[in-house]
Amino acid sequence: MSKNEKYSHESYLEYQGKYKGIWGWLFSTDHKRIGLLYLYSIAFFFVVAAILGLLIRIELIAPGPTIMDAQTYNGLFTVHGIIMIFIVVIPGLGAVFGNFFLPIMIGAKDVAFPRLNLLSWYIFILGAILAVASQFAGGGAPDTGWTFYVPYSSTSSTNVIFALTAAFILGFSSILTGINFIVTIHRLRAPGMGWFKMPLFPWSLYATAWIQVLATPIVGITLLMVIAERVLQIGFFDPALGGDPLLFQHLFWIYSHPAVYIMILPAMGVVTEIFPTFSQKPVFGYGAIVISSIAIAAVGYFVWGHHMFTTGISYWSRWFFSFLTFIVAIPSAIKVFNWISTMYGGSIDLKTPLLYAISFIFLFMIGGFTGLTLGALATNVHLHDTSFVVAHFHYIIFGGMGFAFFAGIHYWYPKMYGRMYNIKLANIAWGVLFTGFNVLYFPLFIIGIQGMPRRYFDYLEQFHTGHFISTIGAIILIIGIFMMLFNLIYYRHRGAVAPSNPWKGVTLEWQIESPPTHENFEEIPEIKTPPYLFKKES
């Protein structure tokens, strides 16, 4: 097929609805277009926050002030955290690939509430703009860290209220998307698709959606309470007003720990789709993967206390939270074993999506195993609030969720745009990214064990080498990110036309045109077989 030849059907990209041009996107209720709106806005904020992260790393290349003062540094890591957590990572996979592929993978024409879906995007954008504005308006960038710990956050003279409001608004977007997905999965599965004939990415979105709906309101009300404390001087958390500072931490982590699973469950779902396709083999242990998703979502509610091991909570609460933390590690381990077994005995095509997916396993393992030293009480005391924690969660969130996102975009790109990116360049970009990532974050484990605290603008000489190597890694990583972005953007219109099923996948999205038509399916398919059946039934 030549490069200039175009597909012949009318895809969702050309479809003319009530509105034309840009309005056809801004007022579109098509789940695919909304998915792309999320993709572009999230990619934009990701690049912004990644550059903030790079500035943090450059500041830390040597002891003493390098390119900024302490106040700027504190503002930078706060805004980096707020943007990455609330705007990029929490909505990320669900809002982009969930929106785009959930309906297609379960054989539906759209989500259950298309207009609510569009509203969620607008709420998301409102919150995102407010979060960025908080950096510039009034008293200067918020400097509390993304965790907003009271009493500091109730006394800091910076723009904390802006940032809190932004996080509050973003929470609503998350709740509404969650509700939408739950109803979609319950009501819109194609005829014949029983719960256990549903592919595993939708399953992971289902488990995630319940966390979004049940946990997000808690952080919403908590952030409002901090605002009330600042504005009305009501003493909820600030001991100077008669409040309890640990109450804030409990409420905050009751949401923010499950939020980690909002980030990682869909990531697990994405790679679970990729392993069978590139091995041409059914997923290993379908039932085990489903059960482990649900187990993570359920047990994940009861481990928030491990963020508070050193706050002075009681001996036995430390004991129980540590114990449950180890229990929640098991379902993740089960998934890793099943993914590897899925590849075993397959016919493995090591293309870009699989490269990202296997590096996801590798990085996620490092993140997970280092999490065990943080979950154990004795070692946690030493590592708590050191750069070991910073390395650990970047391995989980960036190495896990981030790499799964990159895996997903390289997997579904031909379906979304009907074009193929340059695979060679994509592989090189992967190599640079993967190298940069490890050079950036691995040294932080080591200086963390040596006692380097996190959120330090300056540090003692013995941590210099580690910080220096880490900054070099950051520069490599950012180069890798831009190579990847260039590839995806440049070949969006210039790439070879992609066939409808370039990877020989068997889930429903590969049975329709690339890019899909406005309504996805001309006729809603009837499902008779389990989801990952590679050989035709005899």
Partner 1 sequence: MFGGASNLAEGVDKAFVFIFTISFIFIIGLTLLMIYILIRYRRSKVKEAMQFSGSIKLEILWTIIPLILVLFMFYYGWVGFAPMREVPDDAMRIRTIGRMWEWEFDYGQGKLSKVLVIPVNKPIRLDLVSEDVNHSLFIPAFRVKEDVVPGYDNWLWFTPLYTGEYEIMCTEYCGLLHYDMVTRARVVEQDEFEEWLENLEATGLVPDHPGLAVLKKNGCMACHSLDGAKLVGPTFKNLYNSQKTVLVGREESVILADDDYIKRAIYQPNDEIVKGYSRGLMNSYEKLITPAEIQLIIEYLKTLNGE
Q: Tell which positions 67-126 bind partner 1, by CB under 8 A.
A: 69-71, 74
Q: Which of 126, 197, 214, 244 binds partner 1 (CB under 8 A)?
A: 244
Please report whether residue 37 would count as binding partner 1 according to CB under 8 A: no
Q: Which of 387, 359, 399 is nearest to 264 (CA)?
A: 399
Considering the rule CB under 8 A, would residue 451 count as an interface residue with partner 1?
yes
Q: How far is the CB of 187 from partner 1 (least distance, A)?
A: 28
- Whether 115 and 288 have beta carbons less than 8 Å apart is answered as no
How far apart are the C-alpha atoms of 427 and 448, rounded to whole Å? 32
What's the CA gap between 61 and 245, in Å, rounded?
A: 34
Tokens at 378, concatenated: 């004795």
- Choice between 3 and 382, CB closer to partner 1: 382
Judged by DSSP in three states, 323 sits in helix
Binding flags for partner 1, 124-153, as an x/- string (CB under 8 A): --------------xxx--xxx---x-xx-
Q: Is 235 in the site for partner 1 (CB under 8 A)?
A: no
- Nearer of residues 32 and 335 to partner 1, judged by Cβ: 335
Only one of the segments 205-213, 258-266, 285-293, 466-474 lies at the binding site for partner 1 (rule: CB under 8 A); that segment is 285-293
456 binds partner 1 (CB under 8 A): yes
Position 375 contacts partner 1 (CB under 8 A) = yes
**Residues 299-328 close enough to bind partner 1 by CB under 8 A:** 310-312, 315, 318-319, 322-323, 326-327
Task: Please enumerate in sequence order all residues whose Cβ is within 8 A of that of 319, keeping only pairs 6 or more positions apart, or say none.
Answer: 377
Amino acid letter for position 404: A
CA distance 267 to 88: 13
The answer to whether residue 284 forms part of the interface with partner 1 (CB under 8 A) is yes
Q: In terms of CB distance, is 10 or 69 closer to partner 1?
A: 69
Structure tokens at 520: 């996805």
Residue 40 CB, shortest distance to partner 1, in Å, is 33
Q: How far is the CB of 241 from partner 1 (least distance, A)?
A: 11
457: Cα within 13 Å, side-chain hemisphere: 16
| Longest Cα separation, the chain | 75
Cα(537)–Cα(149) distance, integer angstroms: 58
Question: How many residues belong to the chain?
Answer: 538
Of 17, 24, 217, 245, the one binding partner 1 (CB under 8 A) is 245
Q: How far apart are CA 64 and CA 498, in angstroms?
A: 52
> How many Å apart are CA 282 and CA 102, to the nearest integer?
20
Using the rule CB under 8 A, is 376 a contact of partner 1?
yes
Binding to partner 1 by residue 195, rule CB under 8 A?
A: no
Stretch that binds partner 1, among 193-201, 215-223, 378-386, 481-489 (CB under 8 A): 378-386
Beta bridge partners of 497: 419
Nearer Cβ to partner 1, position 166 or 374? 374
240 binds partner 1 (CB under 8 A): yes
365 in contact with partner 1 (CB under 8 A): yes
Report, in Å, the least distance between residue 430 CB and partner 1.
14
CB of 322 to partner 1, least distance (A): 6
CB 99 within 8 A of CB 38: yes
162 near 138, Cβ under 8 Å?
Answer: yes
Where in 51-70 is the site for partner 1 (CB under 8 A)? 69-70
Does the bond joining 65 to the residue before it have cis omega, within 30 degrees of 0?
no
Contacts of 388 (CB under 8 A, 6+ apart): 370, 373, 374, 444, 445, 448, 449
Whichever of 114 and 140 has its CB closer to partner 1, that residue is 140
Note whether 213 and 200 are within 8 A (CB).
no
282 part of the interface to partner 1, by CB under 8 A: yes
Using CB under 8 A as the binding criterion, the count of chain residues that bind partner 1 stands at: 93
Comparison of 363 and 484: residue with beta carbon closer to partner 1: 363
Indicate the residue among 398 and 503 with the shorter CB distance to partner 1.
503
Listed residue (390, 473, 384) closest to 432, CA to CA = 473
Which one, 410 or 419, has the nearer CB to partner 1? 410
Task: Supply the minimum distance, in Å, between the C-beta of residue 270 and partner 1.
Answer: 18
